[in-house]
A and B are shown apart, each in its own frame.
Chain A
Amino acid sequence: MNSLTVLLLTLTIFSSFPDYTERPFDKNDTMDVYYNEHYDKTLVESSLNVIFLGSIRFYQKFISPAQGEVCNFTPSCSNYMFKAVRKYGPAGIVMGIDRLQRCNYSAPGYLGLYYKDAVMTKDRGYKIIDNP
C-alpha cells in the first residue's frame, strides 16, 4: 500500500503535463501584480504566508496538472486560495477551504443568486467568477 502511494506520488511529481498548468498570474500581468506594497502587506509580515504560498505553488506545479482543468470557478480554487493568502494572510487558507467545499456539482445552480457572473472558456464551458 505504502509503496504504491510513493510510486503514484513520484509519477505525479516527475510527470510532465505540458497542456495545462495552473498559474496564479496571467501572462500579461505587470510587475506590480507580482508584488504590490498595499496588497501584499500581510505577506511580508509573516514567513508563514510564504510557506502557504509555496505549498500552493507546489500543488499547482506538480499535482494539479494530473487532474487537468476541473474547477467550476475562475480563478480556480488554488488561485483563489493563493490570492486570499496574499490578501488576508493565514485566514486566506480557511477561505480557500470554504471555496473547495463550494466547488461541487451544485455550484452552477447558484449562478445568478450567490454568484453574479460567469465566463465561457474554450476547454471547460462556463466558469463562475468568484474572487476573494
Chain B
Amino acid sequence: MRKLLILILTLLTIIAAVYPAADSFSEFLFNEGDYYRCITQLKKEFYRSDNPDTLRLYNLIGVNHYLMGEYDNALLYFSKIAPAHEDGLINMLITLFRMKRFDAIDSIEVSNNTEAGRIQKIARLFAGRYSEEFIPGDSVLHDIFSDYHAIPKKNRLTAGILSAIIPGLGRIYSGRTGDALFSFATVLLPAGAGYYYYAIDNDIGLYTAAGFAGLFYIGELYGAINSAGRYYPAHRDKYYEKITDNYSGSIFKPHYKFKSAASETD
C-alpha cells in the first residue's frame, strides 16, 4: 500500500513537470506565434481563476488580437483597461495609430514626457497639428519630425502650367517621369500626324488628328494637376508605413507581461 502511494506521488510529480502550468502555456503559445489559441488559453485562465488578474489578462488578449492584425478587437480590450493600466494605454495608442485614427489619439489625455506622450506627438504630426518649424528636442522624435517636414509639396497650378507649355513636364514635376514620357508621346504623335495632313491638304485627317491631340492634351493637363495633388498624400502615407515598420520594435512595440505581479515577487 505504501509503495503504491509512493508510486502515485512520483507519477504526479512527473506529470506536473512534463505539463507546464497554464500561465506558461499561454506564453509558450504566444512565443510560437499561435495567437488564436493563446487567446483561448488566456480566457480559460480568466474563467478558471477565483481572483483573475483582469488588467493583465485583458491586455494580453488585446496584444494577441493586435499581433493578428485584428485592431478593432484589440482596441475593445485595451479601451476597457486603458485609464488604469499603463501598458494598456500605450497599446491602445499604438492600435489607434495603426488604424490611422490620429484625432482619437489627440483627444486622449496623456502626460508629455512618457512613452504615451511620444506616440501622441507622432500622431499629432500626422494629423497636421504642428507647424513646419516645430521639431522636438527628443532625439528619436527629432529624426521623425525633420524627415516628415522634408517631404516636398507639389503645387497643382505649377504642374498645370508646366504641362500646358510642354506636355509631360507637369508630370515630371510631380515625380512621374514614366507617365510623362508616355503622355508626351500620346500628344506628340497625333499632333505630328495633324501637321502631316495639314502639309498634304487633307482636312479630314487634319481634324481627326487635331481632335485626338486635343483630347490627349486635356487628359495630360488633368493628369499633371491630379498627380501633383496626389504627390504629398502618397509620400506621407509611404512615410507613415516606413515609420510604423522602422519603429515597430521600439516606439510601436506592444507592452505586455505574462507573469503576474504576485508571481514575480514569489
Report which A residues bind B (CB closer than 8 A): 93-98, 100-102, 104-107, 109-110, 112-114
Interface residues contributed by chain B, number (CB under 8 Å): 21
Please determine whether B178 and A101 come into contact, CB atoms closer than 8 angstroms: no
- B43 on the A face (CB < 8 A): no
Please determine whether B223 and A98 come into contact, CB atoms closer than 8 angstroms: yes
CA distance A112 to B239 in the complex (A): 11
Q: Supply 15 further A-B pairs (C-beta < 8 A) apart from A97-B219, A106-B179.
A: A95-B222, A97-B218, A97-B222, A98-B220, A100-B219, A101-B183, A101-B219, A101-B223, A102-B223, A105-B182, A106-B177, A110-B176, A112-B238, A114-B176, A114-B234
CA distance A98 to B186 in the complex (A): 11
User: Given that A113-B234, A114-B230 are known contacts, is A98 also in contact with B219, CB under 8 Å in the complex?
Assistant: yes
- B226 on the A face (CB < 8 A): yes
Mark out the residues of chain B between 106 and 127 whose CB falls within 8 Å of any chain A CB in the assembled complex. Answer: none
Indicate the member of A102, A109, A110 with the most B CB atoms within 10 Å.
A102
User: Given that A113-B235, A114-B234 are known contacts, is A104 also in contact with B179, CB under 8 Å in the complex?
Assistant: yes
CB within 8 Å: A-B pair count: 51
Q: At the interface, is chain B mostly helix, strand, loop or mixed?
A: helix
Q: At the interface, is chain A mostly helix, strand, loop or mixed?
A: helix
Instruction: Name the residue of chain A whose CB is nearest to the CB of B224.
Output: A98
Please determine whether A109 and B178 come into contact, CB atoms closer than 8 angstroms: yes
Task: Kindly list chain A residues whose C-beta atoms are within 8 Å of the C-beta of B234.
Answer: 113-114
Task: Kindly list chain A residues whose C-beta atoms are within 8 Å of the C-beta of B238.
Answer: 112-113
Task: Kindly list chain B residues whose C-beta atoms are within 8 Å of the C-beta of A101.
Answer: 179, 182-183, 186, 216, 219-220, 223
CA distance A105 to B176 in the complex (A): 12
Please determine whether B176 and A106 come into contact, CB atoms closer than 8 angstroms: yes
CA distance A105 to B185 in the complex (A): 13
Task: Kindly list chain A residues whose C-beta atoms are within 8 Å of the C-beta of B230.
Answer: 114
